[in-house]
Amino acid sequence: MKKDGMLAGIGAYTLWGLFPVYWKAVQAIPALEVLGHRMVWSFAFILLLLFWKRRWAWLRQASKSRVTLITFLSTACILGLNWFVYIWAVNADRIVDASLGYFINPLISVLLGVFFLGERLRPWQWAAIGVAGAGVAYLTLGYGAFPWIALTLGGSFGLYGLLRKTASLEALEGLALETAVLSLPALAYLFYLELAGTASFGRIEATTSLLLTLSGVATVIPLFLFAYAARRVALATVGILQYIAPTFQFLLGVLVYGETFTHARMLGFGAIWTALLIYFLEGVVVGARRKSTTVLK
């Protein structure tokens, strides 16, 4: 495990934890239009970085590899879905539901690591996943609605992390390919809104238009940090770090934006938090035992 990868992961999740504040600032704009700007401006910002670093050799490699193109077409679609659901959830006052998705995601990442990368889990780790599953089931039954926002966000980002960990391109190059794919339909949609006279950009206050423009910078920096971390630390470790983001999101939703937190939700969240605590403490104990064994040797 590399220290720079760990620091990059911490930075990414801290920024993501504060994202509700950013998207709330553009709440008056429809989520799909915000998504379009996010895609287009992200690609523009990455192009500037590539020109600055003069890193174009990867284009030949990517164009000759069908596997690479298919992989990043897949990650682009997954990323687009994740972005849209999250923006919609924040603007619909469902930040707490979105935070649940990112609380669940570490355990989804662990399961993906088991099934696709051959990573092994110890008994207490399996127990943690079982408790989390019970929490999701209780939320579905007790809250009276299937937690589709949480499962969509957690599942899509877990799958994205898996594909990016096994992808052949480095963080910046991979992001360039993903945002290039996303920016084409996004740009077409924004032009359609402009021709129809329903576009918000340029017709709203200057501060909001500026935030739409800067959404590319706000998106790319944590995503680049995440992609950098995902290729340098174990997938399970990436999952552990993600506790930072949903904690910030949950606190913002409840304490800052006043979203309701019912008794049923409290029990369901409590089960998931218990699962995360079990998983974390089990890792601490096992790590301490291994360190002690190494010292004795």
**How confident is the model at residue 43, as a pLDDT?**
93
Which residues touch 49 (CB under 8 Å, ≥6 apart)? 172, 220
Predicted confidence (pLDDT) at residue 238 exceeds the cutoff of 70: no
The confidence band for 104, taking pLDDT boundaries of 50, 70 and 90, is confident
Instruction: Map 46-80 to HEC letters.
Output: HHHHHHHHCCCCHHHHHHHCHHHHHHHHHHHHHHH
Q: Which two tokens stand for residue 263?
A: 């008794």
- Quote the percentage of the chain above a pLDDT of 70: 94
Query: Looking at residue 164, what DSSP letter applies?
Result: H
**How confident is the model at residue 120, as a pLDDT?**
79
d(CA 154, CA 81): 11
Do residues 182 and 43 lie in contact, with contact meaning Cβ atoms separated by under 8 Å?
Answer: yes
Do residues 213 and 36 lie in contact, with contact meaning Cβ atoms separated by under 8 Å?
Answer: no
Q: What is the value of pTM for the model shown?
A: 0.82
Tens of pLDDT, residues 125-183: 888 888 888 887 877 776 666 788 988 998 998 898 888 877 777 777 888 899 999 99
Longest dimension (CA), the chain: 73
Q: Which two tokens stand for residue 294?
A: 């190494």
CA-closest candidate to residue 213, choices 19, 16, 13, 22? 22
